[in-house]
Structures are given as C-alpha cells and as structure tokens.
Structure 1
Amino acid sequence: MIRSVLSLRPKPGQSQDLVRFFESRKIPERALASPGCLGVEVQNLLPDGAEVLVTALWASVESYQTWLESAGRHEDGVQMQPLLAEGNGAVAPARLYEVARLATHQNTSVSR
C-alpha cells in the first residue's frame, strides 16, 4: 500500500475555503471512485490553517498514477490557484510513502 501526501499553502484566511473547494469539486469522492483508492483525508493545520494536507491510501503506485492522469485533475489545479498563497511552495511536490504497517477500526468513520 502507498500513502500519498500533498501539502498546500492557502492564502491567509483561505484554508476553510480551500477545504470547501475539495468538497464542492467532490475531489475525495472522485479519488475513491478511482481503482485502487482506499481512503482520502483533507486536513487543516491547527490552530491557524496555514497548511492544508491531503493524504490518500492507495493499493499501489500504479493506482495513484491512474488517479493523477484522471479526467478533471488538471482542471482542479487550475481552479484551486486563486485560493493558494503566492510564490513557490504553495503546492509542495506530492510525496509517496510505502505503508509498512496499518492498524484501523473497521466501519469507523470520522468527519467534521
């Protein structure tokens, strides 16, 4: 299994708008519909929302790559730009981690 980690730096005061952008575009739901996506989280850094972290669990690197090449991904990035901070570092390169061990409670859902 693979964990993808994407770090986004919103404009000051725009972190909730960025989270709502993910909701309105149904990005987590679209990712889950992609073969091999096992889960998605959109996280807001406490206390001030200076970073929005998007993580997902994938069956394989290939399944993550399929998501990257899916319809709408490029358009998501274009439409997200007005919510992101200026300059380099607003979108950090995505990182992939091999999941060495995973422990979960089945059928448990946590949302805000």
Structure 2
Amino acid sequence: MIRSVLSLRPKAGQSQNLVRFFETRKIPERALASPGCLGVEVQNLLPDGDEVLVTALWASVESYQIWLGSAGRHEDGVQMRALLAEDGDALGPARLYEVARCANHQNTSVPH
C-alpha cells in the first residue's frame, strides 16, 4: 500500500474555503472512484488552519499514477491556486510513502 501526502498552504483566512473547494469539486469522491484508491482525508491544521494536508491510501504506485492522469485533476489545480499563498512552497509536491505496517481498532494489523 502507498500513502500520498500533499501539503497545501492557503492564503491567510482561506483554509476553510480550501477545504470547501475539495468538497464542492468532490475531489475525495472522485479519487475514491479511481481504481485502487482505498481512502482519502482532507485535514486542516489546528488551531489556525495555516496548512491543509491531503492524504490518500492507494493499493499501489500505479493506482496513484492513474489518479494523477484522471479527468479534472489539472483543472482542480488551476482553480485551487486562487486559494493558496503566493509563495512558491504553497503547493508542495505530493510525497509517496510505502505503508510498512498499520493497525486499526479491531486489533488487526496489516504487515508489509
């Protein structure tokens, strides 16, 4: 399994609007409809919301690559720019992590 991590820095006071942008454009739902997407989270940094973190769990790197090429992804990025801080690191490149081990509340774990 692969976890994608995308860090976004919204303009001051725009973090809730950025989260709503993901809701309005149905980005998590579209990602879940992509083959191999197992889950998506959009997270707002507490207490001030000066970072929005988007993480997703993928069956494989290939399934993540399919999502990157999916319809609407480019347009999402173009429209999102208006909500992001002006500097160059407001939209960091997505990082991929191999999930080596995980556990859940049912006391089961998934080995690598």
TM superposition score normalised by structure 2: 0.93
Q: What is the CA distance between 1:28 and its match in structure 2? A: 0.1
Q: Output aligned runs, 1:1-112, within 5 Å.
A: 1-105=1-105
- Identical counterparts, % of pairs: 86
Larger Rg: 2
2:17 counterpart SS class: helix
1:96 counterpart SS class: strand
Hey, which bits of structure 1, 4+ residues long, moved more than 2 A?
none
Q: Distance in 2 between matches of 1:70 and 1:10?
A: 24
Q: How many residues align?
A: 106
Q: What is the CA distance between 1:87 and its match in structure 2? A: 1.6
Greater fraction of residues in strand: 2
Can you give the 5+ residue segments of structure 2 that lack an aligned partner in the other structure? 107-112
CA RMSD of aligned residues (A): 0.8
TM superposition score normalised by structure 1: 0.93
Can you give the 5+ residue segments of structure 1 that lack an aligned partner in the other structure? 107-112
Q: What is the CA distance between 1:102 and its match in structure 2? A: 1.4
Aligned to 1:110: none
Q: What is the CA distance between 1:105 and its match in structure 2? A: 3.8
